[in-house]
Structure 1
Amino acid sequence: MYQHEPPTEESPKEYKIKHARIYILLLIGQVLFPNKSGNTIHSKWTQFVVDLEDCGKLSWGFTVLANLYREMCKSVDIKVTEMSGCVLLLQAWAFTRMPIISLVAPLQAPYPYARRWCIKKLDYQNNPRHHLQGYRFRIDHMLQDQFIWRPYLGLAPQRHEDSLIWSSTTYIICFHIVEMHQADRVKLQFGHLQGIPEEPQCLVEHHKMTTIKARQKAYTTLYSDEQNCWLHRELFMLDGD
């Protein structure tokens, strides 16, 4: 772990930038894309903190989802006992939409959103709390009105101004990982009526791709059709009722 003193207002600009790079790299490798070891960061992420201005322009949200979706696909194997990826996002998603399994926070914590479940004096009285069978029972017996489809409507408008893009049914990509963001199967989440959804797209061949295999090809040429779909994702946004 980096042990140098944090920068102050009097610190040189270069010193501040150096610490910013370290902090962002830790955030990427330990929070957004953690591996199962919990204490290492893949060198592939270092290229994104060279230019901090460009770093802020990347679509980190969909990239995190692609990686998380792949890890969730792996975890359904009965032999798998661990899972990496941004499980903090998955947990916050579940707590926000399914109050029947959520901890009750005494106050609505400010940004970051998930901090409301990381403070003291949480109410565990009606929560299964580390009891797997209890969680399964509550989810299996959940009623229609116990799921909150649009929990962010009360937030300031600028925080969900890109919600139209969120509704795109498109490929999402993280290096060699390609997954499908199937917003058309959860239209209620975007304020639309849900009809009978089409069959889910199972990307069996895409799941066979590994980092080693991907290195044999340039990422710019790998899955060109999927990349083109992503680049034109505004064409695949939900519309209608």
Structure 2
Amino acid sequence: MVRTFTTDGEGRVRPTASARRRGRTKVTSSNPVAEEEPHQEVEEAQLDDVHNIEVDDSGVDGYPGGPIDTSVLKTYGDHVAGRLWNGEDRGELRIFNNGKKMKRVIIDHAEVQRLVEGSGLLPLLKCSYEMIDKGLISAFVERWHRDTNSFHLPIGEMTITMDDVWSLLHIPITGAFFTFTVFDRDQAAIVLSELLGVSISFAWTEFRVTNASHVRFSWLLDLYNQRCGEKRWVEAARAFLFCLVGCTLFTDKSANGVDVAYLECFRDLDSCGGYAWGTAALAYLYDNLCHASLHHIKTISSYLTLMQAWVYEHFPSLRTNSCKLKSKYKEELPRSIKWKPKRDKGQVIPFRQTLDIMTVDQVCWNPYVKHRYVWPFQDASLYRGWIRWGLKMYAHLPDRVLRQYGHVQSIPSLPCEIIGHSTTPNDMDVMFTQYAIHLVDPGPRVNDPSDCVDGYMEWFHAISHPYIIRQNPDTSRDTTSLPRVMQILNTLLNKQYITPEGIPLVNELMNLLIVENGVSRDWSNVETYKRKRNGGLRQTQ
């Protein structure tokens, strides 16, 4: 969820109640909640196994495919997932990424490196991906919900947290938030003159090229090299850092430049290291994800290296054909450096399908265990409260993704409960600096990485839209013998004794039962048997 203290000219506002009603229809069926058991393994899972499940919510307001209970996803009415469910596919998003430009952003002078190190941003020089997979990014954007600031998957909620930023980028996540002013061109020219030593007329010449109070990266890098040649190290470092954050953390849709507003962050190079750069970048990523999740939006920017690296870490099956492991990686380095993306095919549908049949066993919930030995966990990562980029505030809600911290997932409180904690940017800044009193109590540690409390998955499927692809039932299928098949299957399962040779067949029949009944089987007490050498059966301990 977001709170904004400025007028947003791009229409990033919550839909009105009447708009939600216009896009809402009733859901009727016989089972209010239906999903797979979180620990069940289903071999050869097919899309129709998880989608042809009827949901009964007679007389309850909701949406086709969910959510049934709209108390959490209050702004679902204009979400891209709702349009996809109704067959309106916007396709892949257009991606804005400056990874290739980072090849030119290098430091050749020790004087500049010392100043850049003091900012806490030096690790960014090695993190950026040249190639961003627009199919992968688009598939996850379709599952992002701005009411919870999380991705909604068939196995529950997941999100990019402060801990992910800390581990993937190695930049500060605690400290102060910065407030910047969007300058007009006269003001921006003065700032460039004061901080980079250029003339007003030279600044205005650049503004006429960009047609905004922006400067091009090429212009900045030329100026940086010029200041290094003149040994004006402070101005050179400012130009370098200004270019660095524009190419990485705060990438926008201009594609080739950065807003002069960010230069103010480097007025005092001695104090800029005190900013919570990583948390501000996370808020900016949340902002772009919220915007891109609206059905009519076709583009996305922000530091998508962070998002793509997060996917690589948490979803091993998705990185199989998308990236390769760098053999020379060491845990002392940011985890994003561990992966090198391959050239993408730019298709969202394969990722969309894979996510729709995702099981808990295909997720790496806590991928940074080895990394902790050299880069320890920060308690601030459990902060529940507002984080901000400029004057836009976003809720950081670790209680919704406790399994990512190695704890049992409970049913979280409503996101809106955070609103009562603060009312102004200053109050929110105080709340963040006092993060120690706003930490989530994570509860018990997990035994199995996907552990959740009883009732969590039922609750989640009621308040969420966990599947993206809507499968039409095959009305031509012959179902005359289906009742007998189901009867036989239930008999076999209730016996609890199945030979190994029969497991694949039972799995297939079980999938059929899931489709018809909307329920799955608990296999925890099913015992397998092995044949004795004399042809008999003996129980396996």
- After TM superposition, the score normalised by the length of structure 1 is 0.78
Q: CA deviation at 1:166?
A: 0.6
Aligned match of 1:234: 436
**Counterparts of 1:6 and 1:109 in 2: how far apart (Å)?**
34
**Counterparts of 2:296 and 2:401 in 1: how far apart (Å)?**
29
1:95 is the counterpart of 2:312: yes
1:61 is the counterpart of 2:278: yes
Q: Is the 8 A contact 1:150 1:190 kept in 2?
A: yes
1:138 is the counterpart of 2:360: no
Aligned match of 2:30: none
Query: Tell me, what secondary structure is at the counterpart of 2:300?
Result: coil
Residue in structure 2 matching 1:51, options 265, 268, 276: 268
**Counterparts of 1:194 and 1:68 in 2: how far apart (Å)?**
24
Q: CA deviation at 1:98?
A: 0.6
Aligned match of 1:114: 336
Q: CA deviation at 1:62?
A: 0.8
Q: Deviations over 1:22-65 (max 9, x none)?
A: 22111111210011112121122111112222111210111011
Q: CA deviation at 1:203?
A: 9.2
Residue in structure 2 matching 1:159, options 352, 366, 375: 375
**Counterparts of 2:251 and 2:417 in 1: how far apart (Å)?**
25
Gap change, CA 1:72 and 1:108, over 3 Å in 2: farther
Q: Deviations over 1:173-208 (max 9, x none)?
A: 11111000001111111222111122333999xxxx
Q: Is the 8 A contact 1:185 1:197 kept in 2?
A: yes
1:172 is the counterpart of 2:387: yes
| Larger relative contact order (Cα-Cα within 8 Å, sequence gap ≥ 6) | 2
Gap change, CA 1:61 and 1:55, over 3 Å in 2: same
Q: CA deviation at 1:112?
A: 4.2
What residue identity is the alignment partner of 1:99? P
**Counterparts of 2:313 and 2:305 in 1: how far apart (Å)?**
12
Q: Which runs of 4+ in 1 moved over 4 A?
A: none
Gap change, CA 1:136 and 1:76, over 3 Å in 2: same
What residue identity is the alignment partner of 2:433? L
What residue identity is the alignment partner of 1:107? S
**Counterparts of 1:81 and 1:112 in 2: how far apart (Å)?**
31
Gap change, CA 1:174 and 1:159, over 3 Å in 2: same
Q: CA deviation at 1:72?
A: 0.7
1:105 is the counterpart of 2:320: no
What residue identity is the alignment partner of 1:75? A
- After TM superposition, the score normalised by the length of structure 2 is 0.37
Query: Tell me, what secondary structure is at the counterpart of 1:104?
Result: strand
Q: Is the 8 A contact 2:313 2:367 kept in 1?
A: yes
Query: Tell me, what secondary structure is at the counterpart of 2:265?
Result: helix
What residue identity is the alignment partner of 1:155? H
Gap change, CA 1:225 and 1:16, over 3 Å in 2: closer
Q: Is the 8 A contact 2:402 2:408 kept in 1?
A: yes
What residue identity is the alignment partner of 2:338? R
Q: Deviations over 1:58-78 (max 9, x none)?
A: 101110111111111111111
Q: CA deviation at 1:170?
A: 1.1
Q: CA deviation at 1:7?
A: 8.5
**Cα-Cα RMSD:** 2.7
Query: Tell me, what secondary structure is at the counterpart of 2:369?
Result: coil
Which is greater in Rg?
2
Gap change, CA 1:138 and 1:42, over 3 Å in 2: same
Gap change, CA 1:98 and 1:165, over 3 Å in 2: same
The structure that is strand-richer by fraction is: 2
Q: Report % sequence identity.
A: 24
Q: Is the 8 A contact 1:152 1:160 kept in 2?
A: no
**Counterparts of 2:326 and 2:226 in 1: how far apart (Å)?**
32
Q: Is the 8 A contact 1:180 1:201 kept in 2?
A: no
Query: Tell me, what secondary structure is at the counterpart of 2:431?
Result: helix
Q: Is the 8 A contact 1:179 1:203 kept in 2?
A: no
**Counterparts of 1:6 and 1:238 in 2: how far apart (Å)?**
49
Aligned match of 2:146: none
Q: How many residues align?
A: 215
Unaligned 5+ residue runs, structure 1? Answer: 205-220
**Counterparts of 1:154 and 1:54 in 2: how far apart (Å)?**
32
**Counterparts of 1:99 and 1:77 in 2: how far apart (Å)?**
28
Q: Is the 8 A contact 2:280 2:389 kept in 1?
A: yes
Aligned match of 1:26: 243
Aligned match of 1:211: none
Q: Deviations over 1:107-162 (max 9, x none)?
A: 2535343233337xx5x8xxx84221101111111110211121111115352341
Unaligned 5+ residue runs, structure 2? Answer: 1-217, 445-541
What residue identity is the alignment partner of 1:160? P
